[in-house]
């Protein structure tokens, strides 16, 4: 147990130093993920044009929703599919296999520590957003912030496991990163970064409920903005834990089967 904690601490420190060196690049990636902010502008204009509210959302409701959606999207972003694809096809995975640690943890810590490099810039953009749309209140109380911290961490881990599983498909075929791009396209419309899901046609709402998508952005946003009450928060956490379990099993299965096929190209 102590050695595991020690490994975790060392990995975190090393990756935090590594990511800090690339902070300019990280800021650019952050600004590139601007869709929730653009959608915020479009929906606010729509609410203003229809006399102050559309579908029960006022401009400041939209501002709170999309700022929270932007924040959540920043927290859950994962590029590990690309990294794994590269490692598997170029053979860089081989040296990592010799270490007494599943390579999963190294990639995971890389992503997790990068969130802390993002943190100051995330706060700056959140405050700018709150000032630009007067009367916006992001969250009602500290309790919802704490619940959100749990929901967002789970959402990040689920998204990371999805990306990891997609990346592992590189053991079988060489278009794994294209699959992750399909994921991005689907996620852009189904996680709730384009619009609050209650604006979608009912059959789509019912269908996405059976996927992890709404539990990555939409529900965490509801938790932060205070739209979710305690029973809903508990339900969201429960479903997220279930998805976490499912994706952990999928990841473990793909890893076990994939390693058997690994030919260590170039190593």
Partner 1 sequence: MRLLRRLRRYLRVALIFAGASVSAQLEYRANFLVNLFGSLLLAGGSLLGLTVLYGDGQPLGGWSYRETVVVVGLFTFVQGYIGAFLYPNLNRMSEEVRQGTMDFTLLKPVDSQFYLSTRNVNLFRLTDVAIGAGLVVWAARGLEGVSLPGTLLGGVLVIAALWIVYSVWFMLSTTAFWFVKVGNVTELFNGLFRAGQFPVTALPGWVRYVFTFIVPVAFVTTVPAEAITGRARPGSVLAATVVALLLGLISRRFWHFAVRNYTSASS
Interaction site with partner 1 (CB under 8 A): 22, 24-25, 28-29, 31-35, 38, 41-42, 44-46, 48-50, 54-55, 175, 178, 181-182, 185-186, 188-189, 194-195, 199-201, 204
Nearer to partner 1, 46 or 92 (CB): 46
Nearer to partner 1, 10 or 38 (CB): 38
Instruction: Name the one residue in this structure whose structure tokens are 């943890």.
Output: 105
* DSSP-assigned letter for residue 136: -
Which H or E run contains 181?
helix 176-190
Give least dist CB 142 to partner 1, A.
32
Give least dist CB 100 to partner 1, A.
33
Give least dist CB 171 to partner 1, A.
17
* DSSP-assigned letter for residue 215: G
Q: Residue 217's closest CA among 20, 39, 19? A: 39
Q: Residue 148's closest CA among 233, 243, 223? A: 223
Give least dist CB 77 to partner 1, A.
13
The set of residues, in sequence order, having a beta carbon less than 8 Å from that of 185 and lying 6+ positions away, is: none
Nearer to partner 1, 188 or 244 (CB): 188
Nearer to partner 1, 195 or 227 (CB): 195
Token output for 1: 């147990």
The set of residues, in sequence order, having a beta carbon less than 8 Å from that of 4 and lying 6+ positions away, is: none
Give least dist CB 201 to partner 1, A.
7
* DSSP-assigned letter for residue 77: -
Nearer to partner 1, 181 or 232 (CB): 181
CA dist., res. 12 & res. 229, Å (int): 34
- Contact indicator for 219, 121 with CB cutoff of 8 Å: no
- Contact indicator for 84, 169 with CB cutoff of 8 Å: no
Give least dist CB 239 to partner 1, A.
23
Give least dist CB 114 to partner 1, A.
14
* DSSP-assigned letter for residue 98: T
Instruction: Name the one residue in this structure whose structure tokens are 């401009």.
Output: 59
Nearer to partner 1, 188 or 252 (CB): 188
Token output for 45: 């204009």
Nearer to partner 1, 29 or 262 (CB): 29
Give least dist CB 230 to partner 1, A.
29
Nearer to partner 1, 188 or 237 (CB): 188
CA dist., res. 192 & res. 215, Å (int): 9
């Amino acid at each position: 147990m102590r050695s595991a904690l020690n490994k975790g601490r060392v990995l975190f420190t090393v990756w935090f130093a590594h990511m800090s060196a690339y902070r300019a690049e990280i800021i650019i990636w952050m600004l590139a993920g601007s869709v929730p902010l653009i959608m915020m502008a479009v929906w606010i204009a729509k609410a203003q044009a229809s006399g102050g509210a559309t579908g029960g959302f006022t401009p400041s409701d939209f501002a709170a929703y999309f700022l929270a959606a932007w924040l959540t999207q920043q927290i859950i972003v994962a590029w590990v599919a690309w990294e794994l694809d590269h490692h598997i096809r170029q053979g860089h995975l081989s040296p990592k296999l010799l270490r007494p640690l599943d390579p999963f943890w190294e990639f995971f810590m890389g992503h997790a520590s990068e969130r802390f490099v993002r943190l100051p810039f995330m706060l700056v953009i959140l405050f700018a957003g709150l000032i630009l749309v007067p009367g916006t209140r992001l969250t009602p109380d500290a309790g919802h912030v704490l619940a959100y911290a749990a929901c967002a961490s789970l959402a990040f881990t689920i998204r990371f496991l999805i990306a990891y599983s997609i990346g592992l498909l590189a053991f079988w075929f060489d278009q794994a990163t294209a699959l992750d791009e399909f994921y991005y396209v689907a996620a852009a419309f189904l996680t709730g970064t384009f619009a609050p899901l209650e604006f979608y046609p009912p059959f789509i709402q019912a269908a996405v409920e059976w996927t992890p998508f709404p539990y990555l952005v939409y529900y965490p946003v509801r938790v932060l903005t205070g739209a979710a009450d305690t029973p809903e928060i508990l339900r969201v956490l429960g479903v997220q834990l279930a998805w976490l379990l499912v994706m952990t099993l999928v990841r473990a299965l793909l890893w076990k089967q994939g390693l058997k096929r690994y030919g260590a190209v170039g190593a």
